[in-house]
Homo-oligomer: A and B are copies of this chain.
Amino acid sequence: MHFTSERRLEDGVLEREFTLGEIPGILWTPDSSPAPLILLGHPGGLARMYPRLSARARHSAAQGYATATLELPGSGERPRSDAAEQARADLQRAVRAGKPVDDGIVERLVLPLVEAAVPEWQEALDALLALPGIRGPVGYSGGVIGIGLRLAVVEPRVAAAVLFAGSYVPRRMFEEARRVTIPLLVLLQWDDENNDRQLALDLFDAFGSKEKTLHANMGGHTGVPGFEGDDVNRFFARHLE
């Protein structure tokens, strides 16, 4: 992990860009230390997602959390995968047509992404937790929900997760969902144009965690109300201390 830039934001948060091998990422740290770490999930495209990610990072830093994120395979400046691009186009075509999305398309899009991304996030965890002032247990917060799901199953350092149900999950991952046991907060936008409501409810039902809470709000994919940011902080305060 190499830091490539460093700047102090207005509210005192230190923002550092880094590369992990070829993969770009960003780390935000608060003044207080040691800070528990939250991994910020997103749909890919760090530059495009930066405004929302940095807002979440600063909101978390105000409560004493460090946050970090990584570019996803096939997004931003990273090499594209023809198969993933094809699957994404197929999914978007089905969604635009208002048709039920074939699970085969979802599998082609999500499974390779999860397989490729999760080991990278685990490698990032190794590097981040070796930095001074950052500590576990770790939280995961955001999408892609399939990545968060897989991390919750395979990565014991992740102790609690906020999963944004704003993307499709192949039915094949429901078996995996039953093996999740960490506390979960699942955020669902009731009229999310990027997801299927019933699929999200079925996935919430499938998670094996004894403590799991669903927060559903009105509006589309990007309309999560501001007060949910406070709820996310309180959720992590209960589970990462």
Q: Is B212 within 8 A of A215, CB to CB? A: no
Interface residues of A, dominant DSSP: mixed
Q: Which of B211, B216, B225, B234 contacts A218 (CB 8 A)?
A: B211
The interface bits of chain A over 185-205 (1 if a CB of B lies within 8 angstroms of the residue's CB, else 0) are 000001000000000010011
User: How many monomers of this chain does the complex have?
Assistant: 2
CB of A63 closer than 8 Å to a CB of B: no
With A190-B205, A205-B190 as given contacts, are A213 and B210 in contact (CB-CB < 8 Å)? Answer: no
Q: Is A212 within 8 A of B205, CB to CB? A: no
* Further pairs besides A201-B201, A212-B217, A213-B216: 6, Cβ < 8 Å: A190-B214, A209-B218, A211-B225, A213-B218, A216-B216, A230-B234
Q: Which residues of A contact B (CB under 8 A)?
A: 190, 201, 204-205, 209-218, 225, 227, 230-231, 234, 238
